[in-house]
Structure 1
Amino acid sequence: MDSPRLAPHPPARGSLKGAADEEIEAASAACCRICLDSGDDLISPCMCKGTQQFVHRSCLDHWRSIREGTAFSHCTTCKAQFHLRVQFLEGDGGCKMKFRLFVARDILLVFLAIQTAVAAIGGVAYWLDKGGHFRNRFADGWVHILSKHPVPFYYCVGVVVFFALVGVFGLILHCSTSPSSNNDFPCFARSSNRRSDSSDDDFVVVVVIVIIFAIVGIVYAFIAATIAVQRIFQRHYHILAKKELTKEYVVEDLRGGYTPPKLDPEHEQRLKKLQLI
């Protein structure tokens, strides 16, 4: 005879109540894992559990736009791929306006930093030339108009010295990084036994040397400015382009029930070309 089958014991009421209390407590204590703030816009897009599974959609989109690599389409904690819903967007002129404003802001900040350095050098020159002896040397030259007014004169001194310093550091950097450069500089290794009898001749020589270094500094500054502007353009274009992509590829809320995602092959190839998946 077959032994009678025993019916499975129903779960105890206490355990069910405890699990329900834990779920309610977890839901009430949910906070964003990025900004650590609560809110109604919390989603659970990946395999993370506990308090790590919740994140604001706005925080996640910002994270996806600024992080490099596969953070656009994958969780950086559990490495699970997001479920991306493709949403077609119409052309938005606001993105171009933001791009121009951000580029103009960064260029303005660089310009203000240079002007601050020039003003500081001019202020030091004015402090060192308290009696105006250096400025009076240009009273009879073609720059006598500037020498009459201390502010434009010392500002021009700051500009020339700034570009001269750029030229000196540019030459040092170029010579130190050049594979054919030596440890010594032959053009400065020679010492002259001739001493000038006139201090004016020495002054003219110093001015000419400073102007030569300033011209070299202008060349290096132009090259550096070109590279800096290109970097600014690339940085902001890259970030804003990824922000637009976060609006086009929207992360779905899985509510803790993660399943392997399926993305259209065309969009998958597009994201692979952009190195975002």
Structure 2
Amino acid sequence: MIPDLAPTLPRAEALRQLTRAFAAAGLANPRGDARFLAEHALGLSSSELILHGQAPLGESGAQALGEAAARRLAGEPVARILGAWEFWGLPFRLSPETLVPRPDTETLVAAALPLFPERHRPLRLIDLGTGSGCILVALLHERPEAFGIGLDRSQDALATAKANAEANGVASRAAFLRGSWLDALAGPFDLIVSNPPYIGTGVIPTLDAEVREHDPPAALDGGPDGLDAYRAILGNIAQRPGLLAAHGVVALEIGYDQATAVTELARKAGFSDVTVARDLAGQARVVTLRPSLSVR
């Protein structure tokens, strides 16, 4: 039930009422959701919300917060309501054709950076299926001499990624191209990264409603067994050895149960050095791949 948020209601009390309503609705993070939406709707920082908690909502604040609460109680994720989310400590704008950046994907950035530990080493990167650009932008933020390409089939996603690169100060070292995986690209790349679609087609109807109904289907559907994108990426690298630099590395996010299958695909494609990194929950989340001499 949506609480009655009157314009005269103090902000702190509105926050308490929202938290209770979200908890009663069974939302996983009622306090955090209420705080994020209150800050967004009222245009306040966390500290301002605390320091000025006794100030009334006001007409516009009450209306904006009520509308945001209604959307959340209808099942829309907080990040979609805000239109933005944080990743790797950086802000990212979202759009309908981009995934919400998730903490699990930070494992990909964390696994890739130690592969090139020299911060100022020049690197050429490519992020396949870049979406919001969060992976590419985070890597460019950490490696100031790197240049990166974000590739995506969605023009909407590419526009969003470009805007995020500009907002985070790396646009001069980034390019965004429309295309499918590695088709029509020329290497060599020092690092190829991707968080591709990896959900099996038949599994998508069973996903949580916040994912199933609000994330773009093209960013989720990995084909019947969830492995279509990995076959395309690894097969392309195997067939076109010039795509990967002599000491280049591929880093791919995977589903929690896909480590064995993706490792097998990688070995068949000629990758002799395969490492699996785990996320904070202990689940296999990223495979890093180095090719054998015959593939270089």
TM-score over 0.5 for the pair: no
The structure carrying a bigger helix percent of its residues is 1
TM-score, normalised to structure 1's length?
0.21
TM-score, normalised to structure 2's length?
0.20
Higher RCO (CA-CA < 8 Å; seq separation 6+): 1
The structure carrying a bigger strand percent of its residues is 2
